[in-house]
Amino acid sequence: MEIKYLTYRQIDKTKWDDCIDRADNGLIYAYSFYLDAMAKNWDALVLGDYEAVMPLAWNKKYNIHYLYQPPFTACLGVFGRLKPRQRLQNLMAVDHNQLTAETVNAFLQAVPPKYKYWDIYFNPGNLFKLQDFALYERINYVLNLNNSYENLYNSYRDNIKRNIKKSEQYQLSINKNITIAGVIKLAKEQPNNSTLTVADFNGFEKLFEFLYSRQKATAYGAYTKEGRLIASAAFFFSHKRAYYIMVGNHPDGKTLGASHALINAFIKDHAGEDMLLDFEGSDIPSLAFFYSSFGAVEEKYSAVKLNKLPAPLKWLKK
């Protein structure tokens, strides 16, 4: 079987989404409806009859095509059936039914040469040392919710427990299934979202409504006793994961333990379920400490930057 490059119009979305459904490393970000909402453009690499797939989110600037990571899309890469990580007898062989380092390497070799610059993240099932591409590690944090709430709470660091008690002292209330508009309003004010466009937020809102209508999304909010929203988050669900996908916090919430109480409420609501709470990062030490304080553990994934730009653009993108 060969790896084919398909333009957007050539992709069979039914077969595509079926592949993501059954992929051992499937993630919500790879569904066609997700990519339609969040990627400026996307084409694909497809192995055989959609045995494995790799979305190529792309854009064009100065008539130069490049691969990029869409907003609210933590990682993509190659999706399919995973093979136990063992040394193959023939290191150059590609097992077309299972994902191996050789398969992932072959997918990247199949990326069309018109894409002159890559800055993309791969899912944890693609965490290999590749022969022809230098991947670097990134860190995600996940919390296994398949435990009693009491045990989960006992795993919190003391600073989390103190902030939860502080939120109770200030009489904060946590509501679920709040409107996504409130989350987006606060998220737009976050400094780390300053590069996002109106189109990015509009795409996310449509995506949330689509998933919410299928009971695959919810939003939580922390409110003051006066009824002011000071912390919020949207969660998506798929592949036995709850994705902490969009966060909107008011500065006042930091002193009231609002975000601590919100996450704790979500954990309490879903304790005992066979599901991971996916915090979507982070490489930022302060956020890594915050997520790990809930008992979350590292989940490593990989990324690649590749620069084939002509001079002097190559130098500018170093």
Tens-place pLDDT, residues 2-53 = 999 999 999 999 999 999 999 999 999 999 999 999 999 999 999 999 999 9
Class of the CATH domain delimited by 146-274: alpha beta
% of the chain with per-residue pLDDT over 70: 93
Going from N- to C-terminal start, the domains of the chain cover: 3-137+301-316, 146-274
Q: What is the mean pLDDT of residues 255-262?
A: 96
**Which pLDDT does position 316 carry in this prediction?**
52
Distances from the Cα of 272 to the Cα of 24, 136, 141, 151, 192, angstroms? 22, 34, 19, 10, 33
- Given a cut of 70, whether residue 160 has pLDDT beyond it is yes
- Given a cut of 70, whether residue 242 has pLDDT beyond it is yes
214-239 per-position pLDDT tens digit: 999 999 999 999 999 999 999 999 99
Distances from the Cα of 3 to the Cα of 48, 49, 96, 169, 203, angstroms? 6, 10, 10, 59, 30
**Which pLDDT does position 192 carry in this prediction?**
83
Cβ(38)–Cβ(204) under 8 Å? yes
Q: What is the mean pLDDT of residues 155-167?
A: 98
Output 90 or 244, whichever has higher pLDDT: 244
264-297 per-position pLDDT tens digit: 999 999 999 999 999 987 788 999 999 999 999 9
Task: Kindly report the average pLDDT of the chain as a whole number.
Answer: 92
Q: What is the mean pLDDT of residues 76-96?
A: 58
Strands (E) located in the chain: 3-6, 41-47, 52-61, 64-67, 115-122, 136-144, 173-176, 217-223, 229-238, 241-249, 276-278, 297-307
**Which pLDDT does position 315 carry in this prediction?**
54
